[in-house]
Structure 1
Amino acid sequence: MSRISKKTKLTVITAASVLCASLLTFQAVPLLRAADNNAPAAGQAAPQPAAGQQQPAAGQTAQQPAAGQQPAAPADAQPAPQQAAAPPANARNELPDDGKFTLAAENASLRLLVDSTTAHFKLEDKRSGQVYRSFPDPDYWPKETITGTWRNNLRSPIMIEYIDMANFKSQPKIISWLEDKGTLEGFQKTQDGFKVTFSFGGTQFKIPVEVKLAAEYVETKIIDDGIKEGKFSLLNLKLYPMFGAEPSSGQDGYIVLPDGSGALIHFKVNRSNDKSVYRENLYGSDISYFNERTQRQKVTMPVFGMKSGSSAFVAVMTGGEEYSKLFASPSGAFGGSNWITSEWQYRIKFFQNTSQKGNAGFYTYSKEMFKVPQRAMRYYPLEQGKNDYVGMALKYRDYLMKEKGLKPVKADSPKVPFYLDIVGADRKQGLLWDAYLKGTTTSEAMEMVKRLYGLGIENMSIQYSGWQKDGYSSYGQVFPVDSRIGGGDGMKQFIQFAHSLKIPVFLTANYTLNNTQGNGFSPRYDGMRNLAGRLLTFENFNNRDTITLMSTKFAASVLSNDLKQYKGLGVDGIYFEDGVGRYLDTDFNDRYKASRTEEMKTQNAMLKETLDTLGGVSIERPNFYTLSNVTHLHRLPEDFSYDLFVDESIPFTQIALHGLITYTSNWANLRDQYQSEFLRAIEYGAYPSFVFTNAPSGAMKGAYGIWYYSMNYRDWEAKAVEEYQRFNQALGDVQNKAIVGHRTLAPNVKEVVYEGGKRIVINYNAETYTNGNLKVPGQDFIVVTGGKTP
């Protein structure tokens, strides 16, 4: 349960200010997590200065603001690309000659051809005849008006951003292999493709890569161990950034972003005045460095796609994505083509304080280069008839089943699961000491479940929060169960009662924050630290309590000990909240030092140990690296970040996951637009979820951690039963089925199709939607039987 709920703000990021705004960077205490359409727990990005505001360069001294304020970030911006009145007369000759491409690999479906003079490649889909190039479309390029350095950048197979670390006034610079007069070293064909090292001329970087063909995809890899640097330091690179790039003119297409639930940037011809681009971290920001504040929803899926006419592909990052940003450039931003790629990160900016209080210092970059075994990207061309965003999501679903081990869920009941979050207790400020706010005791929880079960909500799944000593806002030591809500015996009796009704019970726990010094925790020795050595903390907005982030490796040992007590209570799993599985941060505590990659492994180990011991793991809005060790995804986003250049939200996440893992949308009793959000949950195949207390609504007002008021179950039980019946009507018989179709029938009218042919039509309009014999009442949905909808 997130402690703060915020609306996502509109975000526009211009090409000039963002493309070169390198990497994540550090901010001062107190920390707040960047909003992923929900408030955060552990740290939030700092606001960027207004356009044109002067900022210090890397290495330049900066005065840190007073405690509670954010440091200004240094600008890494370079001028936006220039547009020429007319392209060069020999423009087509700037691209690789078709006659120089030779066969590198071939299978039943695909052919890979390569130009040994540039290492550019073409992927031919033998099923459809479509050709995907790693360079701009030759038919359009003569019309391309971009000039100067960026014309070479777009033609190049690789471009990099670098800095001169020896010069404290140095600013990051971008250069491409072509612009730097690079050469190829060691080019050779392999059994299934080719490998080569891009040797840059003036900057002297050497970047080894491999390209190989598989049955369904072509994969590009960067071999980090082989990277060589000269006198400059590598910040990031884009490999084959123009793969599949296409102009808007004459093309019916779109870019698919993993923003929120998924979003589309439609191809548009007249974007010349809009230089906005999309640039966002995979798996969220890293609070050990400086963070660019965008207020976007977090990118949790390492996947993107593009459709152009009858051709389409979906790309999946399969290695090293924890050190990457997703970069999308609609036509008109950087050239006339629409393109999307990964920007692989090698160094990140941070604030190096030079005073004990940490309020003065300078910005610099991490000295050591981030290395992973490989940075890999797979490009899957889609077959005809499956070449839209639904086809992309289904191909990603297939990847999750084959590579991550996900399997169709077993529907134990013809009724959908009803996810019930029960709040035990929390604290608020009192006159002399904190007051204990009792929400639901274990005996009251028993009565609540009995009541809802008797009203027809039989297939429940319970997540019980605020059960630890002193309630929800006490972190770091979850056991024993607070005696004021029933203690260990009361919780055990409640769980046994729930099990008698075949209802699983998960206990909510936070293994990221610690404000109790429980389990022998010492902030000085066991707290997470950033690259500058500063302790990472979170400030509770309500009581200004400074809470330390535990080193994940320390938290893992605590969890291992706690699992025995969870097991003793008979719980079915843990609902990990605000940390494990959701946020990914580097730890520079010398005792528990861990890179972002190692943190990812530690988190997965914690989840797997829990899964093996208890049988269930639930996470709120998790990153997708957790999916192999999670049984339920709670409160998934159903919207996007409302960038002005992004056109619409799509259920990409839900199409990929439905039938493989259970998921919910937001709690029904906390919706902003009640009926519209109910319909969105139906459209997206989510299951019903409510958060309840036995206490009267408003009883938790002023609580440190629980910021939700309308939670009394008696006020909501009639609505909950009504909704449960509607959810069963829509989703009861498709719990283990995939979504195989999703389209817009009319403005604000959507159709969803499941395996087996079941169709649901959702009408968000106030008026009835009519099409032939099909009628859908306003603000409602119907299940269609007996054939395809018009």
Structure 2
Amino acid sequence: MSKKWSMLLIIPLILTGSSAGAAEEEKDEIIEEIISEVPQSIFYESNQFTQAIEDEEMTEQAPQEEIGEPYELMAENDRLALYVDPKTVAIKTLNKNTGYVWSSGLDNIEEYRLNNTWQQFVQSAVTIDYVDQRGNGKTESILTNGSQPMVTPTNNGFKAFIVFIGSNIEVTLEVDLTEEGLNFRIPKENVDEGKRNLLTSLRLYPFLGASFQTGQEGYMMIPDGSGALIRYGEKSQFADAPLSATVYGRDLSVANSSNQMNQYLSLPLYGVVHGSHQNGLLSIINSGEHYAEITAYTPGVSTDFYWVSPEFHYRYNYFQPTSRDKSGVNVYQQDRNAFDIDLQVHVLENEKANYTGMAKTYQEKLLEEGQLVDREDQYKVRLEYLGSETKPGLLWNSVLPVTTVDQVREHVDELKADGLDDLLLVYRGWTKGGFTNTLPARFPVEKKIGGEDELVELHDDLEAEGIPFYLYNDFTTAYKGAGGYEGSKDVARQANSQLVMWGKTKNYNEMYFLKPEISKAHAEAAADEFSTRGLNHMAVDFTSYMLYSDFEDGKERTREDAEETYRELFEGLGEKTAALAAYMPNPYAWSGTHHYLSIPMYSSNYMMVTDTIPFLQIVLKGLMPYYSNYVNVQVNEQQDLLRMAEYGVYPSYFITGESPAILADTPSYDIFTSQFSVWKEDILSKNSRLVEVLKQVENETIEQHEMVSPGVAAVTYSNGKTIIVNYTTETFEDENVQVDSMDFTIVDQWKGA
């Protein structure tokens, strides 16, 4: 272990292990001495930042051998050529512009440390997992039992009919060559399980884009949080397990499945780069993403390769209670999840063969398909208010007014007097009974914050001043004992027939999750209620990112069904409101969303991740304004300020009129600092810095994100302006610009370092 890491680990030992008689000032001196010895670069060289790559680390692509037997040419266009091995259905794709060949298998496989099972997995186009009649889980690849695929040429590629001999499961794979790259499809009707076994999951071309441990410079890209890279090299080889994550998060209806992961992906894609600005692949799951788990491996985790692949789950394993004492057994779903697999692979080259190019490719696709709409991107500071909160009592609950309508008005006036009128306000806890334990009911308005007339008047006054005033809504959660829903009839059910819910806590009642169609009905009713009162700004939480199945007997609804319902919900609200705001919305909600609230600015810090990147921000910037999580609950405000400048994120604060101390015995007991009088100066000071640069790139897209040196980022926009962010403790200077330590600036027509 390096000296700098060892010294950091010593600090908690000093804090907990010092003798009782040691003076506090002695501890402080020891800690300061240790910290002074630790290079500051340790922080911005961690995986929570994007890493700089020196030119000498760039490698030329290895010369590709001519494609020969057993591969046969199946399709060709001006840019690409597709070849297949009829025995394994492995493919090779030649990029004619660069001369690079992408392979799904390995040449001379006997030269690598792979046992028979792994060789079969690597070389086979498809590998399945299934459960036999005795309940045993098994894995089978095309080569496992000598299957003989039937490969048939088509206009743009081929079809492969595969019979897995061991399981008697049949799959027909369709592969097309396009101008963009490749398209892999397995329609649900192309899967036949037979009568003996149950198909549980399927992997498709898992080693396409894989790289050997001593291969070229490059990385894998995962849409974890804001985005993450796993670079090829030593930094990523300390992991002892793969990084696994579900697209759109775990399905709560099978939440206890052994297949479920602790990571969450908000985008259905992943990518690989072999030589930055040389060759890359971006794989987008167009269908089947609701059941997809994306897994990334590094050398030392099963093989000596870097590889990333989706696994599509046809059945999940879940816990089925068998008695009242909560004992039970784990079983697989009896009915197979019915979905089409459609995986679109973009072959990238030159300036697009990097994570910025991947993000721009995905952005272009969404715009073309209408899933992403060009909204007005104006810089604003988001203030999210807590109006009132429920306070549990011995016999009955009471309501605590935390921020009244009049206080909100006073705060706005104070900020405007100090020159800040670029505001966006969100008001939660406006419903009678307080914020918690009252959903899904909405009206009437809680009288202790001012009542309905005052709330509507404030909304109208602020709108006239150009300040949108959003009322917080959630159409997904329903508290036990609250009004507005019909008990278990409106609640989604798990695969084991139990209700989808979260259990009761110290201050929360049980929270149930409504069926998607019930959520849609609530949203439509809310839009009507808002309209009759002249209210036209709505902020939607939970519904925008929670996606789960409903296993009610005879009325089953899949995650795919739920997505379509939510898509309609958000498009409808988008049409009926002036500008809809949503918390962490998944892409299917983007077409109806005008403001993205609480966008992630970091990755999950998984061990094998080497970099955090603004992938999500590059996709959205200039097309939809997005806002940070609350500044006043963050650990490192200065670092987050720099991150907002780098990622183009607008600041947010959680605000109350009263001291949060009054919330100690309420469900909002975890709010420690929020009073406006305490945070006013911080709001003004951070705004004065950010507005200087972010105002100049409103409605502009990010065209390039790069690290010009360790800890110094350069972000270039479509209008030619570049924001330079310096995370280091030393001034960054070159012939083009000078940026003080822990600071940022904006320049015109920056030429680069």
Shorter-chain TM-score: which interval?
A: 0.7 to 0.9
Query: Which residue of the partner structure matches residue 395 of structure 1?
Result: 361
Please list the CA deviations of residues 107-161 of structure 1 after superposition, one character each: whole Å capped at 9, or x if unmatched.
Answer: 332222333343222222222222212223x27x453111121121111111111
Please list the CA deviations of residues 665-699 of structure 1 after superposition, one character each: whole Å capped at 9, or x if unmatched.
Answer: 21122221110011111111111211212213433
1:229 is the counterpart of 2:199: no
**Take 2:582 and 2:421, find their aligned partners in 1: how far apart are those partners?**
23
Once the two structures are superposed, the pairs formed by residues 648-667 of structure 1 within 5 Å of their partners are 648-667=611-630
Identity of aligned residues (%): 27
1:214 is the counterpart of 2:214: no
Query: Which residue of the partner structure matches residue 479 of structure 1?
Result: 443
Query: Which residue of the partner structure matches residue 48 of structure 2?
Result: none
**Take 1:576 and 1:406, find their aligned partners in 2: how far apart are those partners?**
18
The structural deviation recorded for 1:410 is: 2.9
Query: Which residue of the partner structure matches residue 103 of structure 1?
Result: 73
**Take 2:136 and 2:606, find their aligned partners in 1: how far apart are those partners?**
28
1:182 is the counterpart of 2:147: yes
Judging changes above 3 Å, is the alpha-carbon distance between structure 1 residues 250 and 525 closer, same or farther for their aligned structure 2 residues?
closer
Query: Which residue of the partner structure matches residue 623 of structure 1?
Result: 586
Once the two structures are superposed, the pairs formed by residues 601-750 of structure 1 within 5 Å of their partners are 601-705=564-668, 707-750=670-713
The structural deviation recorded for 1:746 is: 2.7
Judging changes above 3 Å, is the alpha-carbon distance between structure 1 residues 461 and 154 closer, same or farther for their aligned structure 2 residues?
same
The structural deviation recorded for 1:432 is: 4.4
**Take 2:238 and 2:703, find their aligned partners in 1: how far apart are those partners?**
37
Please list the CA deviations of residues 487-546 of structure 1 after superposition, one character each: whole Å capped at 9, or x if unmatched.
Answer: 221111011111110122221112122226555523232222111111222235332522
**Take 2:461 and 2:564, find their aligned partners in 1: how far apart are those partners?**
36
The structural deviation recorded for 1:753 is: 1.5
TM-score (norm 1): 0.83
Q: Alignment partner of 1:98: what SS?
A: coil
Query: Which residue of the partner structure matches residue 99 of structure 2?
Result: 129
C-alpha contact (below 8 Å) 2:716/2:722 kept by paired residues: yes
AA aligned opposite 1:488: E
Which among 241, 244, 250 is matched to residue 209 of structure 2? 244
Q: Alignment partner of 2:349: what SS?
A: coil
Judging changes above 3 Å, is the alpha-carbon distance between structure 1 residues 515 and 427 closer, same or farther for their aligned structure 2 residues?
same
Query: Which residue of the partner structure matches residue 304 of structure 2?
Result: 336
Query: Which residue of the partner structure matches residue 37 of structure 2?
Result: none
**Take 2:280 and 2:535, find their aligned partners in 1: how far apart are those partners?**
46
**Take 1:379 and 1:294, find their aligned partners in 2: how far apart are those partners?**
25
Of stretches 153-162 and 95-104 in structure 1, the one that deviates more from structure 2 is 95-104
**Take 1:613 and 1:775, find their aligned partners in 2: how far apart are those partners?**
48
Of stretches 198-207 and 107-116 in structure 1, the one that deviates more from structure 2 is 107-116
Q: Alignment partner of 2:351: what SS?
A: coil
Once the two structures are superposed, the pairs formed by residues 340-489 of structure 1 within 5 Å of their partners are 340-355=308-323, 357=324, 359-372=326-339, 374-411=340-377, 416-430=379-393, 432-473=395-436, 474-489=438-453
Runs of 5+ consecutive residues of structure 2 not aligned to the other structure: 1-64
AA aligned opposite 1:394: K
The structural deviation recorded for 1:358 is: 5.7
The structural deviation recorded for 1:769 is: 2.9
AA aligned opposite 1:246: S
Judging changes above 3 Å, is the alpha-carbon distance between structure 1 residues 657 and 313 closer, same or farther for their aligned structure 2 residues?
same
1:560 is the counterpart of 2:524: yes
**Take 1:653 and 1:398, find their aligned partners in 2: how far apart are those partners?**
13
AA aligned opposite 2:327: A
AA aligned opposite 2:280: A
Q: What value does the CA root-mean-square deviation take over the aligned residues? A: 2.3
Query: Which residue of the partner structure matches residue 284 of structure 1?
Result: 249
Please list the CA deviations of residues 460-502 of structure 1 after superposition, one character each: whole Å capped at 9, or x if unmatched.
Answer: 2221111111111021211111122122211110111111101
C-alpha contact (below 8 Å) 2:432/2:445 kept by paired residues: yes
Q: Alignment partner of 2:664: what SS?
A: coil
AA aligned opposite 1:118: T
The structural deviation recorded for 1:555 is: 2.4
The structural deviation recorded for 1:302 is: 0.6
**Take 2:384 and 2:558, find their aligned partners in 1: how far apart are those partners?**
34
Q: Alignment partner of 2:629: what SS?
A: coil
Q: Alignment partner of 1:385: what SS?
A: helix
Aligned residues: 684
The structural deviation recorded for 1:261 is: 0.9
The structural deviation recorded for 1:324 is: 0.8
Q: Alignment partner of 1:265: what SS?
A: strand
Of stretches 117-126 and 418-427 in structure 1, the one that deviates more from structure 2 is 117-126
Runs of 5+ consecutive residues of structure 1 not aligned to the other structure: 1-94
Query: Which residue of the partner structure matches residue 82 of structure 1?
Result: none
**Take 2:738 and 2:67, find their aligned partners in 1: how far apart are those partners?**
56
**Take 2:452 and 2:76, find their aligned partners in 1: how far apart are those partners?**
63
Which among 254, 276, 282 is matched to residue 314 of structure 1? 282
**Take 1:567 and 1:214, find their aligned partners in 2: how far apart are those partners?**
47
The structural deviation recorded for 1:625 is: 2.5
**Take 1:591 and 1:712, find their aligned partners in 2: how far apart are those partners?**
51
AA aligned opposite 2:328: G
1:196 is the counterpart of 2:164: no
The structural deviation recorded for 1:406 is: 2.2
Q: Alignment partner of 2:202: what SS?
A: strand
1:789 is the counterpart of 2:749: no
Query: Which residue of the partner structure matches residue 55 of structure 1?
Result: none
Please list the CA deviations of residues 148-206 of structure 1 after superposition, one character each: whole Å capped at 9, or x if unmatched.
Answer: 21121111111111112x32xx3322221111211213x32222221122111121111
Please list the CA deviations of residues 62-86 of structure 1 after superposition, one character each: whole Å capped at 9, or x if unmatched.
Answer: xxxxxxxxxxxxxxxxxxxxxxxxx
**Take 1:765 and 1:296, find their aligned partners in 2: how far apart are those partners?**
32
Query: Which residue of the partner structure matches residue 490 of structure 2?
Result: 526
Please list the CA deviations of residues 548-602 of structure 1 after superposition, one character each: whole Å capped at 9, or x if unmatched.
Answer: 222222222222222111112333332111x212111111234853111111111
Judging changes above 3 Å, is the alpha-carbon distance between structure 1 residues 115 and 542 closer, same or farther for their aligned structure 2 residues?
same
AA aligned opposite 1:422: Y
Judging changes above 3 Å, is the alpha-carbon distance between structure 1 residues 182 and 534 closer, same or farther for their aligned structure 2 residues?
same
AA aligned opposite 1:105: A
C-alpha contact (below 8 Å) 2:376/2:625 kept by paired residues: no
Judging changes above 3 Å, is the alpha-carbon distance between structure 1 residues 758 and 228 closer, same or farther for their aligned structure 2 residues?
same
Judging changes above 3 Å, is the alpha-carbon distance between structure 1 residues 417 and 699 closer, same or farther for their aligned structure 2 residues?
same
Which among 111, 119, 123 is matched to residue 89 of structure 2? 119
Q: Alignment partner of 2:265: what SS?
A: coil
Judging changes above 3 Å, is the alpha-carbon distance between structure 1 residues 573 and 593 closer, same or farther for their aligned structure 2 residues?
farther
The structural deviation recorded for 1:379 is: 0.9
Once the two structures are superposed, the pairs formed by residues 540-579 of structure 1 within 5 Å of their partners are 540-577=504-541, 579=542
The structural deviation recorded for 1:706 is: 6.3
C-alpha contact (below 8 Å) 1:262/1:651 kept by paired residues: yes
AA aligned opposite 2:155: Q
**Take 1:405 and 1:789, find their aligned partners in 2: how far apart are those partners?**
34
AA aligned opposite 2:610: D
**Take 2:325 and 2:615, find their aligned partners in 1: how far apart are those partners?**
43
1:754 is the counterpart of 2:717: yes
Of stretches 545-554 and 321-330 in structure 1, the one that deviates more from structure 2 is 545-554
Judging changes above 3 Å, is the alpha-carbon distance between structure 1 residues 785 and 554 closer, same or farther for their aligned structure 2 residues?
closer
Which among 466, 470, 477 is matched to residue 506 of structure 1? 470
**Take 1:710 and 1:238, find their aligned partners in 2: how far apart are those partners?**
48
Judging changes above 3 Å, is the alpha-carbon distance between structure 1 residues 252 and 446 closer, same or farther for their aligned structure 2 residues?
same
C-alpha contact (below 8 Å) 1:184/1:196 kept by paired residues: yes
